[in-house]
Each structure stands twice: as structure tokens, then as C-alpha cells.
Amino acid sequence: MKKYNFSAGPAILPAPVLEKSAQAVSNWNDSGLSLLEISHRSKPFVEVLNKAESLATELLGVPEGYKVLFLTGGASSQFFMSAMNLLNPEDLAVYIDTGAWSTKAIKEAKLFGQIEVLASSKDTNYNYIPKTYDVPQNAKYLHYTSNNTIFGTQFKEEPSSNCPLISDMSSDIFSRPVDVSRHGMIYAGAQKNMGPAGTTLVIIREDLLGKVSRTIPTMLNYQTHIAKDSSFNTPPVFPIFVSMLTMEWVKENGGVEKMATINEQKAAVVYDEIDRNPLFKGTAAKEDRSLMNATFVLENESLGEKFMEDATAAGCVGLKGHRSVGGFRASIYNAMTMEGVETLRDVMKAFEQKHA
């Protein structure tokens, strides 16, 4: 039976990427060696790393003055690395709190500077994106999480700010155009919309670095990784390679502009059914609904197990919602096909016929 992977992460990858990755594991480029065992200093892998940087730059329109890095530690490491590299103890940075990941970023940043929560949607269990706030003139940056996988909300446009933006784009990177020039930094863990877990994309404006008074450990200093082209130590070769293949796939399929159009169409299929079907109810404010993670519940919670059984029988897996929200979550990243979302829609329709 065909499977449709709606998991929030580690998440679905394009079928051609999986095929090429599998081949590379056993015999990469007819070298007789596995990609997993080649030297990260070898010319073939240096070419992979350079291509990955070039593709990220091209797809997102990264302007001059920025560096593209592939680091380790996941997006969670960037919660503290960003503040460590950009804030002195007396400096102010402001954060918009829209869920679990922004909450963790706020906690880590408080270790390195003066942090103000500019706006929060915690009052309604993060089911909307705050839109009213004033940014202090002395703020060094404004941090936001562009898409919230747990609560199913997404910024439809970048926040208004008179200071550089920093964004955790782990779950919607390469899903739509981004104005990188408004950002001082963008970071994204690979395992939701770019590749397997193990590498983190970081795009950083160089002129923001080197201005803090503290001593930064070598491995946590962005300037270390810029100077060594993401290879100060052994980089995560396989995750970078798969991420490169995914970016190639995005480019071959029309780039981020085309991805945005397709993602809007796929999300419409899911949300239209949620809104039409009397058995289901969406959990996020309609104007802030994520194109990547559709969260919903059953009006009659006692039917939950039966719905999961029907969905699994149809090949729809990974639909269980996060424990802090409950219900269900359909993650419809770039690699999710229209066939997959239509199958989920049909399961919901059939479930209505059985239980309405």
C-alpha cells in the first residue's frame, strides 16, 4: 500500500531525492565508495557543499554581505548561538512568542542579553499570530518563528520592524519567497522541509558579527564557520548532500515561487474539508493558518481512535497531533503530493458518512 507521510518531522522527502540518496549510500557517483565514508575534505564533497550553498543563495535570493552556512546542533542550538554572537549583556533584543519553539528561543537568549517579549499568543494556547506591537528603537533585532508546527500558525508576511529580523524558518524554509535583506539572520533545521536531521542552514549578515565583548567558544562562533566554509570540523556530510538534492528538486520544479503556489493549493484542499465537514474543527485562527501544518480536532473526541484507524488503512500516517494541542496534524511540506492531501480529504469525507 502507498503511504502518505504527514509527520511533522523528521518529515517527508521528495521521491527522487530518496532514490538518489539511497544510491549514494551504496555507491556514490560510481566511485565504489559510499557517500557515508568519503572524506569531507575531498574535492567531490567540497563541490557538494559549494553547490548546496549556491542553491540556497539562488533559491532564497540571498544578497551580497551574507554568508550561508551548514552547521550542526539543530535549530535549538541557534536559540543560544544567535544571542551569544549578536548581543552584549546590556543589549536589548525583542521576541514574538508564538509557541513552543519561540518560548525556548526566549529562554536561551536571556542568558546573553536583555530580552523583551514584544507580543505573545500564549493567552489562547498559541492559536493566532500577534499583529499589534511597538518595536523599541534600541532593539538590536526582532526574533520570530515563521511557522509553528505544533499549533499550526504561520506568519503570512514578515513582522514590521525598524531593526534586523531573525527568523527560525525550520518548518517552512524553501516553501515560499523570503525577503532575506530584511533579516539579519535566518536559520532552519533540515528535518522538516529540507533534508534529514543532522544539519542546520544558517544565513547570517556578516556586518552584525564581531561586535560582542564576550569570549565566544570557537565552535559557537559564526566567524569560525565562515572562515572555514562550514568545515571547521567534520560537517554532516550525508544531511548536507540530501539537502542539496532537495534544493535541486525545488529548483527543477519551479523554485520557491512555484512551491508557494502548490502549497496554497494543497492547504486549501485540507482546510476546505475541515471547514465543510461537521465532524472536524480547525484549531488555528483562519487568517493565520499554516500552509505547512494543518491542525484540527474532532468535535466528538471519542471518535479519535477510529479516525486514526481509517486514516492508517488508507495509507495516511503521522497524523497524530502534538500532545499540547491534541487532535490531528497534517504536515503538508513541499514534498507532500496533491494525491496525498486528496487521499486525506477522502478519508475525512468517508468518515463523515460513517459517523455523522
Residue 28 annotated among the catalytic residues of the structure: no
Tell me what pLDDT residue 15 has.
96
Q: What are phi and psi of 352, to 5 degrees?
A: -60, -40
Catalytic residue among 67, 140, 192, 266: 192
Which pLDDT does position 324 carry in this prediction?
82
Q: Is 168 a catalytic residue?
A: yes
CA distance 82 to 169: 14
Contacts of 191 (CB under 8 A, 6+ apart): 9, 10, 11, 197, 198
Residue 325 pLDDT: 86
Which amino acid would we find at residue 308? M
The predicted structure's pLDDT at residue 1: 81
- The CATH number given to 254-355 is 3.90.1150.10
| Residue at grid coordinates 569531507 | 40
Handedness of CA 96, 101, 103, 109 (dihedral sign): negative
The full set of domain ranges for the chain reads 15-252, 254-355
Domain boundaries 15-252, CATH class: alpha beta
- Could you give the CA distance from residue 131 to residue 139 in angstroms, rounded to a whole number? 18
pLDDT, tens digit only, all 356 positions of the chain: 899 999 999 999 999 999 999 999 999 998 999 999 999 988 989 999 999 999 999 999 999 999 999 999 999 999 999 999 999 999 999 999 999 999 999 999 999 999 999 999 999 999 999 999 999 999 999 999 999 999 999 999 999 999 999 999 999 999 999 999 999 999 999 999 999 999 999 999 999 999 999 999 999 999 999 999 999 999 999 999 999 999 999 999 999 999 999 999 999 999 999 999 999 999 999 999 999 999 999 999 999 999 999 999 999 999 999 988 899 999 999 999 999 999 999 999 999 999 98
How many Cβ atoms from other residues are within 10 Å of residue 132's Cβ? Answer: 6
The active-site residue out of 101, 172, 249, 266 is 101
Question: Cα angle vertex 349, ends 347, 351, to 5°?
Answer: 70
Residue in 168, 172, 249, 266 annotated catalytic: 168
